Structure 1
Amino acid sequence: MRMRMPWWSRAILAAAITWQAAALRAGNDLDLRSVEPQAGAGAPRLTLQRLVNPASRIEVHGRPLRFALHGLVRFDTLNELFAYIDAEAGRWTFNTPAARAAFADGLMRRGVESRIVSMDSELPLEVLLTHTRGELERTVSAVSTESGSVFSGRNWQLTNDAYRDALLRVRDRWKNNLNCWSASSSIPGRVLSNWHIIDEGIELYGVRYDSTEHFWQAVKYHPDLTTADLRSLLAGVAAIDWRPWLESLRANQEFYLANAYAVEFLTANLARERLTWFDAELARVTSPAERVRTAQQRIDRAPGAPPRFSSMDEKVLWGDLADVLHLIVAFHGVAASSRTPAIGAVRDALIALHFDAVHLAGYSRGRVGFISPEFQALMLEIWKVKFLALPRFTEVIRSTRGVRLDHFLNDGDSPDIPIPVYVGYLNQIREMALEGAR
């Protein structure tokens, strides 16, 4: 059963689906860069000069190639990014001008990387990697304002040196790193993604799933939770105006800077339109008495038959909804507005239906915090099954010897397992697989 994708998910993931489908039709042996057209009809070719020009708007397949900070704050041009960074630098309090500049430069580096390491097209990265370091340095040196900088705002100035170093950093990182995600142009990159469907299924903690993604999202729901329970919770969430609460989270500098992705994620997913979509999809794809975790398990599916839910369905419906509900509980005490009776009642209802933890028999003590090292470590445990116990995947991960396994998607993150932790485990499981071959 397939999901109807809402506009906000299509904006981030539509191109990835297109390329993944093309790769699958070609037997997972398609070099996407070799067939991807440079641009839509009438659009100029992407050159190194256009790539580094902050004013340039890149088009591929006749549509703008957008990029993001925190996966959700999106831009068409680097100038838009720089203006946003300038506003953020002025929004917060810093002890010194140097600290303010360092904060802004950090956002700039991440935004520049998001523009080049795109989910929609490999062309920006291809252009960067097929030019020499010297060519890049000379091209950047020609990009400056009248003041001699790349960007000059009220709160932050971007120097040519800092901009050049950001581009060189991306070039150096991705010359040797493999981005492991579902629409990678590399076969190992796709297979090492949690989204990779395992046709024979994978047994994890006594139950079979279609992928490790299916398991990861399913266990966020208590085994006894039904669709009727979930829709009742969702109705309570949808009855609240979350904007004051979200603004309180945004106003807390220490908290926001430590949890920016999670706050932006909640802002997008607590929008009324998004909550309405969650409820409509639950009504469409499940029955009221069906247990939510069971619905995501592999039951009575023969090899070759399509999964009930795709890996994208798992992320966009089941995963995003579970993350919203867990985060409401986890962040409840941060903002004063959390203490309103309506939000308190929703939190109590969520706790009553076990959204105060992740419950999994046979792991740890059967109950771990949603935002906790114990839950993060579960990723390594399920990868031990996929990459060490299933020989065909052991061979694939061993084939990546000599490259750094990595993961970068629109500067996005994950509240349940931060990207640095995820990448660390990915390289650790590869080393374990290589040790087994010695």
Structure 2
Amino acid sequence: MFDSVLVANRGEIAVRIIQACRELGVDAVAVYSDTDESAKHVRLADEAYHIGPSVARESYLNQEAIIDAAREAGVDAIHPGYGFLAENTGFAANVEDSDFKWIGPPSDVMDDFGEKTKSRKIMRRADVPIVPGTTDPIESVAEVREFAEEHGYPVAIKADGGGGGRGLKVVQSEDEIESQFENAKREGEAYFDNDTVYVERFLENPRHIEVQILADEHGNVRHLGERDCSTQRRQQKLIEETPSPALDEATRGEVWDAARRGASEAGYVNAGTVEFLYEDGDFFFLEVNARIQVEHAITEVVTGIDIVKWQIRIAAGEHLSFPQSAVEPRGSAIEFRINAEEPSKEFAPMPGEVTTYRPPRGIGTRVDDGIDQGDRIAPFYDSMFAKFIAAGEDREEAISRGLRALEETTIEGVPTTIPFHQQVLTDERFLNAEHTTKFVDEELTIE
């Protein structure tokens, strides 16, 4: 096991990793920007190193400063968390080439999954269903037109390095092909430094299903069940739950097996998530998130498996100590992302000081956060500062506990997404599990 780990992140995920290190008897080293000098993750760490100004590109995205801090601290490994540099293949490779261990998947595997056409080829080799489309980049408008003539409209033109909705353009008719083709290439270049694109059939009302994976360096791959992340706005997740209320048991088993096959085929190591779209009884591979996910907590709640500690153990060379048959998710869990945003104003970020912070407590409630009362939500980073998780014997109990937990919470100083979550939990479409990824954007009127 490592003696010390540098956490190359901030906020609630940095706190979560520091707590896991402490339970493993590993020293945790934090890094911080000007704004975060007295942040919660800094207060909890064994040591902390300043890495630059408040702007992320000069601090949490500053690879040289982070590696210099790791050298100064004399750590054994670097954990990137999620966001910032977590899926930056170049940073992973730099860490691999240094004296430190990278707590994440190998950089070459990250590279494979960073390009969607490569990842689709991997999944096809593993006999994992992929959305009908090209597995090589397309070069011309004519190729899009030919695909649409065969498969019908709408079709999606996607940036090869895309994700989170960026570089995704939907073509509803032939006269949109040329403009959307150019738009997708332009966004791919701007956001991912890669203007190559591919085309696939567009699923109009899918659910978003993802499977948590753990894989060690010795060829062992385990799935930890699935999560349903269909409650999202503009392809950004807001509420996640497990198990998915949309899947029957036969399909659930097929999705689990497909995720394991895909991870094995790719030579995946460490924690990751294989994401799928599900519509009309069929599921299709979407992408792999080669890192820990924000929503990992609900999987931990129903399986009893500490994913973050296993990330560290795997990077230290340990074997997964449990067989697949020992993974038996129990009950149901729902996660609410608590953001400093005003839902009634297009979810506009509203940074500021959290003057009162009384999170929920009680049976079936878990809170992962990156602040304490009196801390400030900085305008320089993501507005999420906490996650509330509610668990129960079944979905109905998890929802009722979620409502109770949200009602008991008091947060003053900044607006939050709590009213939105309360609205969703009382909406008949959500309660009846009839919602899809279009629910928030096209069906729900935010109060």
TM-score under structure 2 normalisation? 0.26
More strand, by proportion: 2
For the pair shown, the structure with the greater C-alpha radius of gyration is 1
Q: Which has the higher contact order (CA 8 A, sep 6+)?
A: 1
TM-score under structure 1 normalisation? 0.26
